[in-house]
């Protein structure tokens, strides 16, 4: 049986390590528009160049989610498809994937296509892709894989430690007041996802050390016990990523931690010095 694990590029991984027999992994890209330039969020994207262009451009940049046709092209590659999307409250990617599933099933009603709205981004999609691959490798059925992914996703958490909110505010993802606080007062703001996949900013402080300490405190309050993988995505902030890793291992020595540079889309919103932590 042929399997396809496909994700939009809010996912930080660009390839799947050790794919199980019969498993393909693919990405459908977001596009980032800066003035007249369009950057396609694929492994070949020069993220530093994109961020520099955003800094130099005085106007508002924008993003475009994958089209239904791009999703459908991947859905046609296998008998069983696991599709992973960023939160439907942050992008139209989920709706595009749903439209693509309807298109494909109309012509190929025997296909099995599961779409997981992660209600998150970044590491949440990476962890789901890795889990799906592992379960498929264990010989679990399509329904079992879907049920396990749903349960895993519902128990997950994500936090955003950001130093700049310009693009989030311009795109209407956060209020301009929050953008003002972060940008004009040089403060670090910590956010987390809500139950419906929006962003709730619940802590602000000056200085990175304090926000890293608050992340550890919040992970503890959320019941993290080191049994789930932690994925830390960073935008030009490898130092904070390693400091946080040391703090996590001090509290939970057995925790498995993965580090990734932010994808093009996540870099667009996290911006310079941003961190995204999923667990």
Closest by Cα among 116, 22, 126, 125 to 77: 22
* pLDDT of 163: 85
pTM as predicted: 0.92
Asked whether the predicted pLDDT for residue 167 surpasses 90, the reply is no
Q: What is the pLDDT of residue 268?
A: 92
Q: What is the mean pLDDT of residues 233-241?
A: 96
* Domain-wise residue ranges, the chain: 3-30+65-154, 158-278
Q: State the average pLDDT for the chain.
A: 93
- Token duo for residue 9: 């590029």
Q: Compute the distance between CA of residue 236 and CA of residue 240 in angstroms, rounded to an integer.
A: 9
If we measure between CA atoms, which residue out of 169, 196, 278, 168 comes closest to residue 234? 278
Please indicate whether the domains covering 3-30+65-154 and 158-278 agree at the CATH topology level: no
Report residue 207's pLDDT band, with 50, 70 and 90 as the boundaries. Answer: confident
Q: Which two tokens stand for residue 205?
A: 């402080």
What is the C-alpha to C-alpha distance for residues 124 and 85, in angstroms, rounded to an integer?
Answer: 10
- Whether 4 and 78 have beta carbons less than 8 Å apart is answered as yes
Q: Which of 214, 216, 191 is nearest to 201 (CA)?
A: 191
Angle separating helix axes 93-107 and 68-75, nearest 10 degrees: 50
The pLDDT, as a whole number, for residue 254 is 97
Query: Greatest CA span in the chain, whole angstroms?
Result: 56
Mean pLDDT value across residues 103-107: 98
Tokens 């670090």 appear where?
Answer: 188
d(CA 236, CA 76): 37
208-221 helix and 238-251 helix, angle to the nearest 10 degrees: 40
Q: Is the domain 158-278 a CATH 3.30.1180.10 member?
A: yes
CA dihedral (203, 204, 205, 208) positive or negative? positive
Please state, in angstroms and rounded to a whole number, the distance separating the CA atoms of residues 130 and 10: 15
**DSSP symbols for 115-127:** EEE-SS-BHHHHH
Buried b (16+ CB within 10 A) or exposed e, 193-214: beeebebebebbeeebeebbeb
Q: In the predicted model, is pLDDT for residue 184 greater than 80?
A: no
pLDDT over 70 for what percent of the chain? Answer: 93
Q: Is the pLDDT of residue 177 over 70?
A: no
- The b/e string for 162-174 (b: 16+ C-beta within 10 A; e otherwise) is bbbbbbbbeeebb
Q: Which fold has domain 3-30+65-154?
A: Rossmann fold (3.40.50)
Q: Would you state the structure tokens that stand for residue 7, as one six-digit string?
A: 């994700």
pLDDT for 170: 67
pLDDT in tens, 113-140: 999 999 999 999 999 999 999 999 999 9
Going across the sheet that includes 31-34, the strands are 37-40, 31-34, 62-64
């Amino acid at each position: 049986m042929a399997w396809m694990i496909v994700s939009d590029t809010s996912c930080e991984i660009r390839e799947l390590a050790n794919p199980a027999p019969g498993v393909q992994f693919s990405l459908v890209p977001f596009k980032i528009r800066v003035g007249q330039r369009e950057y396609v969020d694929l492994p070949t994207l020069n993220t530093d160049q994109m961020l520099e262009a955003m800094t130099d451009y005085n106007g508002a940049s924008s993003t475009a989610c994958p089209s239904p046709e791009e999703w459908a092209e991947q859905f046609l590659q296998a008998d069983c498809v696991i599709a992973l999307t960023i939160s439907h409250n942050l992008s139209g990617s989920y709706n595009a994937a749903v439209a693509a599933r309807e298109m494909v099933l109309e012509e190929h009603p025997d296909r099995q296509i599961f779409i997981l709205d992660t209600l998150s981004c970044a590491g949440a999609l990476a962890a789901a892709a890795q889990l799906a691959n592992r379960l498929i490798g264990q010989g679990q059925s399509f329904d079992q894989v879907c049920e396990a992914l749903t349960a895993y996703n519902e128990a997950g958490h994500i936090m955003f430690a950001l130093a700049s909110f310009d693009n989030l505010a311009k795109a209407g993802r956060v209020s301009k007041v929050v953008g003002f606080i972060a940008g004009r007062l040089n403060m670090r703001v910590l956010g987390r996802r809500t139950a419906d996949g929006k962003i709730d900013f619940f802590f602000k402080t000056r200085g990175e050390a304090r926000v890293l300490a608050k992340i550890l405190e919040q992970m503890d309050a959320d019941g993290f016990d080191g049994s789930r993988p932690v994925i830390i995505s960073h935008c030009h902030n490898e130092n904070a990523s390693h400091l946080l890793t040391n703090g996590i291992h001090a509290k939970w020595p057995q925790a498995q931690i993965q580090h990734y540079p932010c994808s093009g889309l996540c870099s667009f919103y996290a911006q310079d010095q941003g961190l995204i932590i999923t667990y």
